Amino acid sequence: MFDTRPDRGSEAVLVGRSNVGKSTLMRELTGHTFDTGRNPGVTRSPNHYDWAPEDFVITDLPGYGFMSGVPEERREEIKTGIVRYLEDNAEKILVAIHVVDGKSVVDIIDRHSGGEEIPYDVELFHFLRELDIPTVVAVNKMDKVDDRDERLDAICDRLGLLPPWKQWQETVAPISAKRGQLDPLEKAVRTHLHDQERDDLFTFF
């Protein structure tokens, strides 16, 4: 299910929970609509947008975490597949876009914090960094958030980034994918591409 990757030397990946707007963001970035199914958890394999003849692909990985009506075993399969995909392709991934829901991510993280449990969103963020994959947290649905700066500061705090959020603009990008408001994300992604001497890929972001 996860072995569909085109043979490309460079890649950007979108990761995140189900229902955070990854597919909408993918559509905004590529101009291409992907059939993801109506129910969360239906998409169990990556969606790739392949720019032949460019040696570059954007990949939308399946959503992880709780999904209504999806058995725990299946959720764990998906999570394991995502982890292995990232590990196997880490050297080719120029940037990871970790999409979170600006309205709910702090509550979700807090609900799963404590004891031995590490919230998925926090775990994934640190896992990407351990793999040395440049990561941008795309905080989506910000058009529905009133306390913008406070919310972004809280997200930074939960991820182990010392607030205020504005000092992390290469890492934290407030967006509204549905409204096409992606400027902070595009600037952050371009910073990471530039650092890797891949300004040639700016046309995609």
CB-facing half-sphere around the CA of 192: CA atoms within 13 A? 24
- 82 or 36: which leads in pLDDT: 82
How would DSSP label each residue in 130-161?
HTT--EEEEEE-GGG-SSHHHHHHHHHHHHT-
**Residue 42 binned pLDDT confidence (cut-offs 50, 70, 90):** low
Position 4 in a domain: no
Query: Which residue range is the domain that position 188 belongs to?
Result: 10-198
pTM of the model: 0.93
Residue at 122 is within a domain: yes
Q: Is residue 82 part of a domain?
A: yes
